[in-house]
Amino acid sequence: MNLPKKVVLCEVGPRDGLQNEPKILSVEEKVKLIDSITDSGFKVIEVGSFMHPKAVPQMASTDEVFKKIKTKDGVEYRALIANMKGLERAMDCGCRKVKLNVSASKSHNLANLNRTPEQSVAGFKETVQAAASCNIEISGSISMPFGSPWEHEIPVDDVKKIVQAYIDAGVTEISLSDASGMAVPSQVYNICTEMQKEFPMVKWILHFHNTRGLGVANIIAGMQAGITWFDTSFAGVGGCPFVPGAAGNVSTEDVLHMLDEMNIETGIDLDNTILISKMLVKILGHSTDSYILRAGKSKDLILDLPTGQKK
């Protein structure tokens, strides 16, 4: 099985997870969680987003959180933005990396904005240039490239047009985000193989939701296709924007546990990560879709022969 020796897990829980929670965490709670994530060895953390506070109240304090977190050299603290206004907030609070997003659904985009997804991306150009001029790194995300809740199948050529639009706008780090949980492993493998071949200059990130239980299998398929950057979310928090009550982002500790067991290096401490997810579950006050929080690590399941109890 052709797998990489080393992968990077990007912890997106503080943004994509917490924005789906009814409970709004305090700045102190967020800072404590994010500082612990830094301490666990993550190299990429999605701290929050700069959306309108009325649209996403869970993320209203992102500016303040950025000012208070302890940053570590070599660690990327990124935020999702929608436009120039978001970039301005990023500049003001010391955020050094922002991420833009577009949906791969042409019909959805046309119906809502009267433009294709690639025309939307072209419209990001001013924001990208402004970010470059003040030395803020930029990333682009494409939602639903593996299937869309509007047209079901998205032709891979349509996704390529969006990728090309990002490249034309100056963005060469691109995340493929299966927010509707429609991706399947063979498809992930094929699309990732094709994308890397056609756009070798792009740094790819994969972002899977576990809506239909395929998050981990899709990560494996991505790794087999040569991708080494993956978004995951602590305790598996998050959700599917189109399916109320569905499972969230693929759980960080579940993925990390598997990678550890397969001897794939991440530089992240699994035990600390589990403690952070437990801390989060306590703050949220409800259980989440995390297998490792339920079952524990395989290595912890060593039974004593005479007693049958855990050693």
Rounded (5°) CA angle 269-274-279: 125
Q: 1 vs 201, which CB is nearer to its own copies?
A: 1
Single out the catalytic residue among 10, 93, 95, 240. 240
Q: 48 vs 215, which CB is nearer to its own copies?
A: 215
Least spacing, CB of residue 288 vs its own copies, in Å:
12
Rounded Cα distance between 275 and 221, Å, is 28
- Evaluate whether 47 touches 78 at the Cβ level (below 8 Å): yes
Rounded (5°) CA angle 246-177-228: 115
Least spacing, CB of residue 58 vs its own copies, in Å:
21
Has 240 been annotated as catalytic? yes
By the criterion CB under 8 A, which residues form the site for its own copies? 1, 3, 107-108, 111, 147, 149-152, 180-182, 184-187, 189-190, 210-214, 216-217, 220-221, 224, 240, 242-243, 245-247, 251, 254, 257-258, 261-262, 291-292, 294-296, 298-299, 301-303, 305-306
3-state secondary structure labels for all residues of 37-58? HHHHCCCEEEEEEECCCCCCHH
Least spacing, CB of residue 260 vs its own copies, in Å:
9
- Evaluate whether 68 touches 103 at the Cβ level (below 8 Å): no
Residue pointed to by tokens 């929050």? 48
Least spacing, CB of residue 298 vs its own copies, in Å:
4
**Helices marked H in the chain:** 27-40, 62-68, 84-93, 106-113, 117-122, 125-133, 156-169, 185-198, 215-224, 252-261, 270-284, 291-295
Q: 60 vs 274, which CB is nearer to its own copies?
A: 274
Q: How does DSSP assign 217-241, residue by residue?
A: HHHHHHHHTT--EEEEBGGG---BT
Least spacing, CB of residue 59 vs its own copies, in Å:
22
Q: 79 vs 256, which CB is nearer to its own copies?
A: 256
Q: 157 vs 304, which CB is nearer to its own copies?
A: 304
Positions marked active-site: 240
